[in-house]
Chain A
Amino acid sequence: MKSSIAITGTGAVSPAGWGSPSLLAAMQAGLSLSKSEMVRELDGRKITTPVLRVPADASAAPKFPRLRRTSPISKFAAAAAMEALGQDRRTRSQNGELRIGVIFTLTNGCVNYSNRFFGEVLNDPAVASPILFPETVFNAPSSHLSAMIGSNAPNDTLVGDSTGFFTGIDLAVEWILRGDVDGCLVVAAEEIDWLSAEGLSLYSRNYLPSEGAAAIYLEPGQTDVLLHHLPDPVSLSNQDRAAASLEIRRHLGKLPSDTLLVDGTTGVNRFDRAEQSAWSDWQGLRWSPRQILGEAMGASSALQVVAAIEAIKAGISDHAAIVSTGANQQAAGMRIGR
């Protein structure tokens, strides 16, 4: 990139815990996290779906009036975003000294309230809760973030497959380079409930539906971790996932052998084949966060990115390449480093 864009903040909420350090620890340990089950009854029969949940911790989510009525997705997003931003920048934003944009990426969104609200509508629309509906809108979580930091700067929500976070970073870079904002939060979050967990398990019973959030703060500069290369994503509209994975690898260019590769494989062979084939000769260090954290849809790539940044900050590697081949939109990737 011609102008230097630095990643100067990270935040994460995942089944590994609240905060980026817990994500890094889980990646370093490489151990399976403990599963739980979503259970519902239908016609007297129990339907059970194994899932990975974010550990309950009432004290972990930031306190803010708007968050009182929100479902977990907004709380996860707020925690990750505020961790990435830090109190000083939040205060400066609230004081009007820093113009911070917000870009939010997701696949599924506020499924808990959508589920509840639609259930109420089918039961009796006259008493369906007007409090639930606004929180079902895709950009509700993102709106809460701008309110929390007191920023009227642009705020965009992008919907897409699990690679959407890369598109979000691309847009953030555009805003920063154009001077629309001083810095930009890029956030991805998802929550699960039985509806979405069962939906994901329809693809494969080996998928482990998951949830969480990840956030990075980008600004112009040369400090911390730098964004080295972010090629345009490769659309799946006219080629298959294997070809798209390969093309993204080509666009990333030659990687130093000490690069940490953070891939998007899930542990489900059928869906991993494209990336595995594109990177079959990779001999370097390799992390696969989704195999530990589960499939958190729109938040998955974001958790990969934060894991890579944390690895660089921890001195595990000086450079990282993050790649992900989405289910039905695009393959994407980027290179970061010192």
Chain B
Amino acid sequence: MGHGLDENSVGLRAGRSCFSTITSFDVSRQRVQTAGQVEIPVSEVRAKIWNRMDRGTQLAYHAAREALEQAGLLTGTIQNLPQIIGTSAAAMPIGEAYYRQSLSTTARRSEQLRRVETYQSQQQLTTMARELKVSGPLRIVSNACASGANAIGQAFHLVRSGKAERVLAGGYDALSQLVFAGFDALQALSPSGIPRPFDAARDGLALGEGAAFVVVESQAAARARSVPILAEILGYGAATDIHHLTQPNPQGDAALLTMRAACEMAGVMPEQIDYLNSHGTGTPLNDIAEGNAIQRWAGNQVSKIKVSSTKSAIGHLLGGAGSVEAVITLLALRDQFLPASLHVREADPVCSFDLIREPRTTSVQRVLTNSFGFGGANATLIFAKEGAA
């Protein structure tokens, strides 16, 4: 959709969708050939270091830098800033290159060693921290498609408990051939390349790539530094769906648990949520499970719940999805609009809620975002405009 908060906000408010033919690896023999792709801007990082960063870390670097700059923390070395970062595919394209080389020759050992080293996400993210001039413990969460949301939720807990004053948190993933082929093999990708979450005839998801980061800081510390506060985090819920490795419980049991837990922590009722950014992948099973969970969570207030899936516009960003969608809800709060579920022709009967099919300008005070992943990792975050809690 673009680089930075503003370009993304403009695109979401215009109802743009961003899928194109994949250029970073060969898709000629895949059933599906498209995804949401990012054109990565140049950076001020030295070329030698930048070129050793994998594509995902490059995305993460840009997003983390923007978050730090916005939080007034790009002013020199920041000591003791824990980083909690979600990723699922990590530096897989480097692993793929290592594999290919291993099958062709045992020569070029130093090149292969560099691949082994830079394949490791902790090496990549430690380099990123060095380039951003931040230091502090690094925690890499890999809960599949909920990773980014879990990272922000864990950061929230660290700050809430007083264990850290502020935390850099987010998530990222770039497209990789192995992961793309994996989703294609599962026949989880929409053959048309156009995902239609919550459409009655939806036929799968589209993959995408991207990153988003936030600085989670105690309100007192942020106020003391006189930095703008984008939103308050009110609640976080995490639970595990043990129904199946890749399929959600059809009734959305774990999703219900996380939404209820986040609301309880936030002290809000479902009808007080002005916008729900759904996990909404566009696969037949996910949308039914999430729709059922929303119905059970909101009860007789369900028709008032405004829901959309922004994966319809940018695709499923896997380890980056939770954090990017969290930041989209922050944009909804900042710019007072609801992004849409695009490409819906006829809404699925499970949509007893208000499915937002066109971007809508409206008052937005409290937002909720859901993220569910392979392995049953479920997470819900609730944000509010400062003072709206």
Contact = CB atoms under 8 A, between A and B. Distances in A.
Nearest to A42: B106
B102 A128 contact: no
A128 B185 contact: yes
Interface in A209-260: 232-233, 235-238
A156 B96 contact: no
B241 A115 contact: no
A143 interface: yes
Contact of A174 (B100, B120, B121, B161): B161
Interface stretch (B42-50, B139-147, B193-201, B345-353): B139-147
Contacts of A118: 96, 99, 177-178, 181
Interface string B177-218: 110011111110000000000000000000000000000000
Nearest to A126: B29
Given A150-B242, A159-B140, A329-B123, A198 B102 contact: yes
B29 A236 contact: no
Contacts of B137: 167, 232-233, 235, 330
Interface in B239-272: 239-242, 245-246, 253-254, 257
A237 B134 contact: yes
Given A157-B143, A236-B126, A171 B154 contact: yes
B31 interface: yes
Nearest to A233: B137
Nearest to B77: A238
Contacts of B239: 152-154
B376 A143 contact: yes
Given A152-B254, A153-B239, A171-B154, A137 B375 contact: yes
A322 B164 CA distance: 25
A115 B95 CA distance: 10
Given A137-B374, A142-B375, A237-B129, A328 B123 contact: yes
A156 B150 contact: yes
A202 B29 contact: no
Which of B100, B134, B154, B376 is the most central at the interface, judged by chain A CB atoms within 10 Å of its CB? B376
A238 B140 CA distance: 18
A238 B138 CA distance: 12
Contacts of A153: 239-240
A122 B98 CA distance: 14
A297 to B, nearest CB: 10
Given A143-B374, A200-B116, 20 more contacts: A118-B178, A124-B29, A130-B187, A134-B246, A134-B374, A136-B178, A137-B88, A139-B374, A147-B242, A152-B239, A153-B240, A154-B238, A155-B143, A160-B140, A161-B123, A174-B157, A202-B109, A203-B113, A232-B137, A237-B134
Interface of A: 42, 45, 47, 66, 102, 107, 114-115, 117-119, 121-122, 124-126, 128-130, 133-140, 142-144, 146-147, 150-161, 164, 167, 171, 174, 178, 195, 198-200, 202-203, 232-233, 235-238, 326-330
Contact of B376 (A126, A146, A235): A146
A143 B245 contact: yes
B142 A139 contact: yes
A125 B157 contact: no
Most chain B Cβ neighbours within 10 Å, of A195, A326, A329: A329
Contact of A155 (B87, B240, B245): B240
B368 to A, nearest CB: 18
Given A154-B240, A233-B137, A237-B130, A134 B245 contact: yes
Most buried by A among B88, B102, B105, B129: B102
B178 A139 contact: no
A328 B109 CA distance: 19
B135 interface: yes
A119 B135 CA distance: 39
B120 A107 contact: yes
Interface string B138-177: 1111111000001000100110010100000000000001
A45 B254 CA distance: 52
A62 to B, nearest CB: 16
B30 interface: yes
B17 to A, nearest CB: 25
B106 A134 contact: no
B181 A128 contact: yes
Given A139-B144, A155-B240, A237 B138 contact: yes
Given A137-B144, A159-B122, A328-B117, A66 B29 contact: no
